[in-house]
Structure 1
Amino acid sequence: MRCLLLALSVALVCGTQDMGVPQTREDLDVQKVAGTWFSVATAVSDLAWPSTQNTALRLYVKELRPTPQGDLEIMVHRREGGRCVEEKILAERTGRAGTFNIDYLEENRLVVLDTDYKNYLFVCAENTAAPAQSRACQYLERCRV
């Protein structure tokens, strides 16, 4: 009986810790994220990834533009040949709110984790193909300080 009580207690403690795991923004209103954004911070799951020239780490979000179909055009800047180049990435909506399919470098999914629409946006680009699964997340702000 004591073992059962101990097991139940451990399960409850571990279960409450899982509640803080970030989830996709299910009620995302794509129209409200439209406009200018600035990349403030970036984090990656693979430490070898930043050394590659063509990675999501070397992209700086400039603007998000919702399309009439509910997709998202992402205007980014990146360095190429010593100069700044603007590029457009199309993120196609999926059946899940806050989740988009992209075809850029090795990335195939874009997930909006959180936003308040006015100040910040937390987004992750993921490569879900095995065995090289990876994730790059960016924290974006509306104004640059």
Structure 2
Amino acid sequence: MALLLLSLWLSLVSAQDLNPRTIVRRNYDIARVSGTWYSISMASDDMKRIEENGDLHVFVQSIESLEDGRLKFNFHFMLHGECVEVAVVCDRTDRNGEYTLAYLGENRLLVSETDYRLFVTFRLQNIRNGTKTQVLALYGRLSELRPSFLHRFEKVCKTYGLGPENIISLSHQDPCYRYRR
């Protein structure tokens, strides 16, 4: 029995390893992104937008691929000390993994990469009053990911000109975590 429990524990631990061969960077099967997600990290070239009280300081609860091709995000955030839930629906474009939405300006949302099973990285490009802002978000199927995922996120951020000083951790910082369904 102890051997069975040990092998089960080892399989769960190894299942959380980052496997570069399973990472998808194009031709996304967006339906496989549907489900429960947790905010792990965010990065931006405008830090005040993703830091506490920033308009993009949100925590993902779930993502749903809708039948018409749109993508629905369920987020929550703190507003005046209360947890507020909001649903955001993004319209699909003609390009695989690319969506648009109207929120504080014009936005393009792109899937950067995913393995569907453990992580997904999104890139948001916002233009508001002529000012461009770039945000990257790392979401995990678990509330915490191993350091290998965080290192990979740093590399992805670097390809978009964002260094470690542009990255914030959101793991274990979700003030509404206890209200998740």
Q: So what's the TM-score if we normalise by structure 2? A: 0.61
2 CA distance for matches of 1:47 and 1:123?
17
Structure possessing the higher radius of gyration over alpha carbons: 1
Query: CA 1:143–1:46 in structure 2 vs 1: closer, same or farther (change >3 Å)?
Result: same
1:1-145 correspondence to structure 2 within 5 Å: 25-50=25-50, 53-56=53-56, 58-106=57-105, 108-128=107-127, 131-145=130-144
Query: Where do 5+ consecutive residues of structure 1 fail to align?
Result: 1-23
Quote the sequence identity (%).
Answer: 27
66-75 or 126-135, which moves further after superposition?
Answer: 126-135
2 CA distance for matches of 1:52 and 1:133?
20
Q: CA RMSD in A?
A: 2.1
Residue 128 of structure 1 and its aligned partner are, at CA, apart by: 3.8
The alignment of Structure 1 onto Structure 2 pairs a total of residues equal to 121
Q: So what's the TM-score if we normalise by structure 1? A: 0.75
2 CA distance for matches of 1:106 and 1:54?
15
Query: CA 1:104–1:130 in structure 2 vs 1: closer, same or farther (change >3 Å)?
Result: closer
- Whichever structure has more helix as a proportion of its residues is 2
- Whichever structure has more strand as a proportion of its residues is 1
Residue 130 of structure 1 and its aligned partner are, at CA, apart by: 6.8
Residue 107 of structure 1 and its aligned partner are, at CA, apart by: 5.0
Contact 1:26 1:96 in 2 (8 A): no
Query: Where do 5+ consecutive residues of structure 2 fail to align?
Result: 1-23, 145-181
**1:54-96 deviation digits (Å, cap 9, x = unpaired):** 521x111110011101110100011111111110000110000
2 CA distance for matches of 1:62 and 1:80?
17
Contact 1:114 1:123 in 2 (8 A): yes
**1:15-69 deviation digits (Å, cap 9, x = unpaired):** xxxxxxxxx943111110000000000100123434684521x111110011101
